[in-house]
Amino acid sequence: MLSKYFKPSLLEKIAESAGTPVYVYSAAVFLKQITAYKKAFSSLGPLFCYAMKANSSAALCGLAAREGWGADVVSGGELYRALKAGFRPEKIILSGVGKTPAELEYALKAGILFINAESFEEVQEIERVAARLKVRAPLSLRINPDVDPHTHKYITTGKLGSKFGVTFEEAQKIYLYAAESECLRPVGAQFHIGSQVHSAAPYALAARRLAAFMLKLASRGINLKYADVGGGWGVKEGAEMSDPAPLARAVAGVFAGTGLKVILEPGRSVSAPAGALLTRVIYRKRGGHKNFIVVDAAMNDLIRPALYGAKHPVALVGRGRGPEKIYDIVGPVCETGDFLAEGVRLREPAAGSLLAVYSAGAYGFSMSSQYNSRPRAAEALITGASSWRLIRRRETYKDLVAAEL
Ligand SMILES: Cc1ncc(COP(=O)(O)O)c(C=O)c1O
């Protein structure tokens, strides 16, 4: 099915023109994911705040903004990008465990929907900044619902003992404090249990806990408007699309009819299926019992396999030779952990052949670096059956040193 959106002839054309490695995104797939979310949640009418950390490309963010989505941002830099990409300030929320006073000031001056605070000290800082700016800061708390999302430990965030959020007990104290403050306006409560979550059950459990807590707060006179259930809905390894319907059923099962405005912060599930990383074969070699294909993309371009053991589907864009063999696809970086995929079954590619690493539209380019002094990859957007454009140029050697003094 993906070949419908990532046509081999078009991928060859893009790689020829833009060079490799290059990230290629399909606007159609990205929009299809957005439509799937809207449809699945139509009975709730939530506000979707696209989690920009997954992929903050202005071209993709602009598509989401035009669909009426807001943005979940986690730094001043992401807020800057969000505003530039066309997200409306009143649909932007600021999350993150360590926002600086400067970032808080930027957010309050921009007039965003609310700040998701993660500690009492942060709430006090927000209060100080708001007092200085003579505004009342719209506040939400990220609450740790102590739910296990059964995902990789690096992307598990909603269990006690993680650095994120505050407990329900602490949250209650903070809301009572905030309700008394002239500079704070408590408007919402949030959780985000983790990323690459494939079961709706942990969301249902966390949502029930959040709803019960919000009811308890209401009995103390604090009526919040927004129930934010975070992001994290997964994309199955090797799957071409992500279906948000089970998540929608779980969330609606708790919040439908409560009068609360539900917020979701999906990132990966929207952008991962929309992206492929194109890379060319440099060399083939054997190492002991293994066959290696050395390509021109590396862990600096796509770190997920090395960081989380993520498995991306890899395919030859053209044809290979002979019978299929098992290959490890590795990059030129000087780390044994530098691989894009292990144990991939392919016909033998000639040097120069093009490979596509699929499901790479999330946490691919946005987590890329210049490690080993490798300029970052270019990015291209497929806009129609045979149309595409470059949306970010490949970095140059000059870019590597541009900020050095
Ligand atoms: C607060 C918050 N919201 C949303 C997301 C998006 O998660 P995902 O891309 O898995 O949907 C994250 C990811 O870490 C997050 O930390």
Residues 262 and 174 in one domain: yes
Residues 252 and 122 in one domain: yes
Residues 351 and 389 in one domain: yes
Report which protein residue has its CA nearest ligand 1's atom 5: 231
Tell whether the model's pLDDT for residue 1 goes beyond 60: no
> 155: which residues sit within 8 A by CB, 6+ positions away?
194, 195, 196, 232, 308
Domain that holds residue 306: 273-395
Residues 233 and 157 in one domain: yes
Residue 16 lies in a domain: no
Residue 304 lies in a domain: yes
Residues 155 and 233 in one domain: yes
Residues 312 and 249 in one domain: no
Residue 269 CA: which ligand 1 atom is closest?
A: 11
Mean pLDDT of the chain: 95
Residue 156: what pLDDT?
66
- Domain boundary (266, 292, 325) is at 266
Instruction: Provide mean pLDDT across the span 156-160.
Output: 69
Tell whether the model's pLDDT for residue 24 goes beyond 80: yes
Q: Report CA torsion sign: 80, 83, 88, 91.
A: negative
Residues 331 and 227 in one domain: no
In three-state secondary structure terms, 281 is strand
Residues 230 and 252 in one domain: yes
Residues 111 and 253 in one domain: yes
Tell whether the model's pLDDT for residue 106 goes beyond 80: yes
Residues 204 and 113 in one domain: yes
Is there a contact between 9 and 16 (Cβ–Cβ < 8 Å)?
no
Report which protein residue has its CA nearest ligand 1's atom 12: 231
266 lines ligand 1 (CB under 6 A): yes
Residue 148 lies in a domain: yes
Provide the token pair at 348: 């033998």
Rounded distance from Cα 2 to ligand 1 centre (Å): 25
Residues 184 and 262 in one domain: yes
Range in 14-28, 72-86, 234-248 the model is least confident about: 234-248
> 150: which residues sit within 8 A by CB, 6+ positions away?
197, 198, 199, 202
Rounded distance from Cα 173 to ligand 1 centre (Å): 26
Residue 383 lies in a domain: yes
Mutation test of ligand 1: which of 30, 33, 72, 191 has the most ligand atoms closer than 8 Å to its C-beta? 72
Tell whether the model's pLDDT for residue 377 goes beyond 60: yes
- Active-site positions? 334
Share of the chain above pLDDT 90, in %: 90
Residue 59 lies in a domain: no
Q: Model confidence over 197-224: pLDDT tens digits?
A: 999 999 999 999 999 999 999 999 999 9
Provide the token pair at 27: 């606007």
Give phi and psi for 213, each to the nearest 5.
-65, -40
Domain count, the chain: 2
Is there a contact between 346 and 327 (Cβ–Cβ < 8 Å)?
yes
Q: Model confidence over 222-253: pLDDT tens digits?
A: 999 999 999 999 998 767 778 999 999 999 99
Please give the Cα distance from 136 to 176 (Å, whole number): 16
Residues 149 and 233 in one domain: yes
265 lines ligand 1 (CB under 6 A): yes
